[in-house]
Amino acid sequence: MRLAFADPRNLTLSPLNMHHGRPDPDVSDILPSVRRRGVLLTLLVLEATRDGVVVEDHFEIVAGRRRWKAALAALAEGVEIDPIPIGILEPGDDAAAIEASLIENLGRLPPDEVTCWETFTRLVTSGRTAEQIAATFGLSDVVVKRTLALGALLPRIRNLYRREEIDVATVRYLTLASKAQQKAWLALLDDPEQRAPTGGALKAWLFGGTSIPTKHALFSLDDYPGQIRADLFGEDSYFVESDLFWRCQNEAVAAWREALLADGWSEVEVLDVGEPFYSWKHARTPKAKGGKVFITIGVKGEVEVHEGWLTDREAKRAQAAAERAARGESPEAAEAARLARPEVTQAQGAYIDLHRHAAVRVALTEHPAVALRMLVAHAVAGSAHWQVKADPRAPHDPSVAVSLAASPAEAAFAERRGAVTTMLGLGDDAEGVLGRRGLGGAAGVFARLLGMPDEAVLGVAAVVMAESLQAGSDEVEAAGVWLKVDIARFWAPDEAFFDLMRDRETVNAMLKEVGGKKVADGNLTEKVKTQKGILRDFVEGTNGRAKVEAWTPKWLGFPAQAYTRRPFGPARRARTVAPLLRRAEAALASQPAAIAAE
């Protein structure tokens, strides 16, 4: 720095002066001494330049504005004063000039608070670091950073504080705001229909409702991809993007939950954000006795873990389960009781079930082979909507039971049913296929059928249908007629057949079938027993009667027919299904592939 003297009229105020652009100061306190003795203390100046060239004997004042203004005032009054002393700073070091201005003012008349903020900010703009500023002025790093944050506020906000139109808390919280947020806040301030938040409300507004301190984070801040804003006037820093914080925090909570489960806890329940944990509504329960872990999360992200608890209701269920286990009851039942609280509500469960049901129904229609297996599985094991039962085949008369036991048809069906029970894993001694819930229900049977070829599945379906076919039904008649069942393959007149006949008119009609009209008419008035004996002779070829081979009474044929005009159930059913089968034959003629060839 070089010392010299200069004419006050050749001086101007440097833009680096911390009071540049401010109204002229009050110099009434120093003007009398300047009139008498002139300016005695040195002003700090820079050489004035124009278009990069130094203007000789012209300078810009960095520090000493009030003394210069007093000298100009004295000259304006006609007082002759000596040139004023100046210290010429080296050109190019703006930061040094700003520091000089600030130091000089701090040592004399302290500048206003906002001017200090602005000057510190200009020092940083000119190349000084916060640490260098702290060392120069003997301040702590925290104080300098706070001052720089205040100086970085939008000019209008600084002026609002300078004019005392906003308070200290508001201006400090605004240092947490981005430039866009500061502009948005000013827009609210200018809107007559809205109220700009101030104080603590401003802090909540800046962070979207709730400010989340970084001290609540379970994750490492070093790996956090979002922004963190430090509160220079407090001890905390805050997350700017709450959504990003919650995503990271939830991931950390999930990892903690997995670790607790891996540590042997039976269940770890994470409560809703803001939901409290009340110990008085819970019972202490150790891990070994089924105790759970409850994790609470506050609205500001704080996490607490409560290990070894059950709700009062769960504790009672656990105690009851332990008592049942002590009595030797099923441990599975005890476990089910312990886990009795469902995962979803009843309405939500219905929603899930019905949507899944709708999708599977369509899928089954698209895959008829799978649908066939599901149908057969339901028929075998039953379900809530399926109650397929085997025909009881329980005759009231013992003689009928004896006859059925000797029937070749019964033996043939038993053989086929045995093959199916073996395929389904029911065991060789199974008495039937239907109603086998021990297979795991319809789902278990369905799983077995999925591993079988279509031919085998159709074989199972055939046995299932045959076993559940109702005796004495229209369906028996329809199937028998359609398949042209030859009853003679499986039946021959036996003792029960003859013993059960009681009607003379019917027996005489049968006698006419096997022996002819002359024989029948000749025995028309004979007793039933006599006519049955003659009928039997023809069937068996005894007592000189010619044997009638493979005779089948019209009762047993397909379609069934009556021997009299009186009601006969099988004949009535035959008349019922006849038109239905005729329509089926017509349809089959136009669509030969409508049914597999038999």
β-pairing verdict for 43-50 and 53-63:
antiparallel
Residue type, 63: A
DSSP 8-class letter at 225: -
Sequence-ordered strand ranges (E) for 262-369: 268-270, 282-284, 292-297, 303-311
- Whether 130 contacts 141, CB under 8 Å: yes
d(CA 442, CA 168) in angstroms, rounded, equals: 75
**pLDDT of res. 306:** 93
**pLDDT of res. 103:** 53
**pLDDT of res. 347:** 76
Q: What is the biggest distance separating any 2 CA atoms in the chain, rounded to whole angstroms?
A: 177
| Residue 499 pLDDT > 90 | no
What pLDDT, in 10s, does the model give residues 92-149?
655 555 555 545 554 444 455 566 666 666 666 666 676 766 665 555 666 666 666 6
| Residue 484 pLDDT > 50 | yes
- Whether 546 contacts 538, CB under 8 Å: yes
What pLDDT, in 10s, does the model give residues 419-432?
888 888 876 666 77
For residue 497 the two structure tokens come to 């057949």
For residue 233 the two structure tokens come to 């006037």
What pLDDT, in 10s, does the model give residues 274-292?
888 888 788 888 988 888 9
For residue 318 the two structure tokens come to 């656990």
**pLDDT of res. 532:** 87
Q: Is 170 helix (H, G, I), strand (E, B) or coil?
A: helix
Identify the residue with better confidence: 169 or 555.
Answer: 555
What pLDDT, in 10s, does the model give residues 300-335?
888 999 999 988 888 888 787 777 777 776 555 555
| Residue 598 pLDDT > 50 | no
Banded model confidence at residue 372, pLDDT cuts 50, 70, 90 = confident
**pLDDT of res. 295:** 93
**pLDDT of res. 110:** 45
Question: Beta-carbon neighbour count of residue 139 at 10 Å?
Answer: 16
**pLDDT of res. 260:** 92
Question: Beta-carbon neighbour count of residue 485 at 10 Å?
Answer: 16
Question: Which helix H or strand E contains 70, and what residues bound it?
Answer: helix 65-76
Query: What's the N-to-C CA distance of the chain in angstroms?
Result: 120
Domain covering 2-180 assigned CATH 2.60.120.620 in the classification:
no
Banded model confidence at residue 273, pLDDT cuts 50, 70, 90 = confident
What would the mean pLDDT of 447-451 be, rounded to a whole number? 87
d(CA 258, CA 251) in angstroms, rounded, equals: 11
Domain regions of the chain by residue span:
2-180, 207-341, 353-471, 488-593
Nearest to 215 by CA among 200, 246, 236: 236
For residue 278 the two structure tokens come to 């009340």
- Token pair 């045959």 is at which residue? 466
For residue 241 the two structure tokens come to 């993007």
C-alpha distances (whole Å) from 293 to each of 286, 301, 314 are 10, 18, 13
d(CA 259, CA 253) in angstroms, rounded, equals: 10
